[in-house]
Structure 1
Amino acid sequence: MLPETTPDDDDVAELRDAFDRLDGLVELPADRRFIVITVPLTAGFPAIEAAVNAWTAARNCGWEYGNVHDEDWWVGEPG
């Protein structure tokens, strides 16, 4: 994720809560310029996409995905 403004502690906590439910890990550097989320494939892309879209829509924040190891598990465009 590439937030336009630095997310505060409450923003990060909300994101971590959403991804804790998916057994995901939310990480960001000290300057909070970007956010990396690691989620097991077993969470399923619809759940991942819903969590990402909910958080980013409220913050006008872009996102990308990477390191997808199975070409058949996802079809579409990131939010």
Structure 2
Amino acid sequence: MTLDPHPPSGTHIRLLAGHAASGHPVFEVLPARLVGSDVFELAGSPGMVLGCAAGDVLRVADDGRFDVVERGENLCIQAAGHGHFSPESFAELSKAVGDLGGMAEAPQDLRFIVVTIGRAVGLPAIEQVMDAWIAGTDGAEWWIGNGEG
């Protein structure tokens, strides 16, 4: 997995995640490395934005919309439920994906979880880990946030 959690320039980009009920845009700020005037390599996978993962190279417009210029070698797995995940559940998932060379991250309140894992691991292994983990949660779901591998 190619993931530099500390981009050298400390650059962050703002990607459009959607729109609030009020119609106002909602953005997610992610660490990135500048590779061109409006082109960035993501250094972290998003929790709300769909269509990209850490390691992808994106062309980002001023309004936060983006195009993937080059796919990286990671998948972005996103998980959410009706409430918050327990610290024990997060620790269980972190260990399971860590054993596959991946990394799980979440905000402090554990309202969602993001897993960055190499595509080379393969969907069957990833699905097995995620399905086993989600079976122990109440009403939570997971999905691949950047396509189907």
Q: Normalising TM by the smaller chain, what interval?
A: 0.7 to 0.9
Hey, which of these two has a bigger chunk of strand by percent? 2
RMSD, aligned CA: 1.5
Q: When the two structures are superposed, what TM-score results if normalisation uses the length of structure 1?
A: 0.77
Hey, which of these two has a bigger chunk of helix by percent? 1
Q: When the two structures are superposed, what TM-score results if normalisation uses the length of structure 2?
A: 0.43
The question of 1:16 aligning with 2:98 is answered no
Q: Structure 1 residue runs of 4+, over 4 Å off?
A: none
Which deviations, in whole Å up to 9, do the C-alpha atoms of 1:37-58 show, x marking residues without a partner?
0100111110100111011112
Larger RCO (alpha carbons 8 Å, 6+ apart) = 1
The question of 1:63 aligning with 2:142 is answered yes
Which deviations, in whole Å up to 9, do the C-alpha atoms of 1:3-59 show, x marking residues without a partner?
223222211110011001111110111121111001001111101001110111121
Identity rate, percent: 37
2:97, 2:142 → 1: CA distance?
15
Mapping 1:1-79, distance limit 5 Å: 1-59=79-137, 60-68=139-147, 73=149
